[in-house]
């Protein structure tokens, strides 16, 4: 039981490049979330999903897209990366009221 896993762990992008962050969970949770964490800002919700095939915007969705084609996977896409998207990205899945976080992806956009 791996819990919540994230791929990749670290990535460097140039401005304008695209990439996809993958989140996978093996706990059969319906709800999944993508957050970004910046120094002094806490965790801010980007997008979330309440089930396979559904997604919704969170607090800071601009510049990101998501897909939940399979229940166990939640993908976060950056179509054209900007330096302001340099951050640590955390995925989480939820059981009851508890959110279980993945180990994070560190993204640096130059």
Partner 1 sequence: GQQVMQIPQYQHVQEGEDFTTYCNSSTTLSNIQWYKQRPGGHPVFLIQLVKSGEVKKQKRLTFQFGEAKKNSSLHITATQTTDVGTYFCATSGAGSYQLTFGKGTKLSVIP
- When the beta carbons of 14 and 97 are compared against partner 1, the nearer one is 97
Compute the 3-state secondary structure of the chain and give helix, strand, coil in percent, each to the nearest 5. 5, 60, 40
Stretch of residues binding partner 1 (CB under 8 A), selected from 12-20, 33-41, 61-69, 75-83: 33-41
Q: Where are the beta strands (DSSP E) in 26-86?
A: 31-38, 42-51, 54-57, 65-67, 73-78
**Residue 1 lies near partner 1 (rule: CB under 8 A):** no
| Other Cβ atoms within 10 Å of 17 Cβ, number | 14
Please state, in angstroms and rounded to a whole number, the distance separating the CA atoms of residues 105 and 71.
21
List, in order, residues 6 or more apart from 11 with CB less than 8 Å away: 19, 105, 106, 107, 108
**Residue 55 lies near partner 1 (rule: CB under 8 A):** no
**Residue 62 lies near partner 1 (rule: CB under 8 A):** no
Closest approach of partner 1 to the CB of residue 85, in Å: 19
**Residue 100 lies near partner 1 (rule: CB under 8 A):** yes
Instruction: Report 13-32 residues binding partner 1 (CB under 8 A).
Output: 31
Which chain residues interact with partner 1 by CB under 8 A?
31, 33, 40-45, 48, 50, 56, 58-59, 90, 97-104
């Amino acid at each position: 039981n791996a819990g919540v896993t994230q791929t990749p762990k670290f990535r460097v992008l140039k401005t304008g490049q695209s990439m996809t962050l993958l989140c996978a969970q093996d706990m059969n949770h319906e709800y999944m979330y993508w957050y970004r964490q910046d120094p002094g800002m806490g965790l801010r919700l980007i997008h979330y999903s309440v089930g396979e095939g559904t997604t919704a915007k969170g607090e800071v969705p601009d510049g990101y897209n998501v897909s939940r084609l399979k229940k166990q996977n939640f993908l976060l896409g950056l179509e054209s990366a900007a330096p302001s998207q340099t951050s640590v990205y955390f995925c989480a899945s939820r059981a009851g009221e508890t959110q279980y976080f993945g180990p994070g992806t560190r993204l640096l956009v130059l």
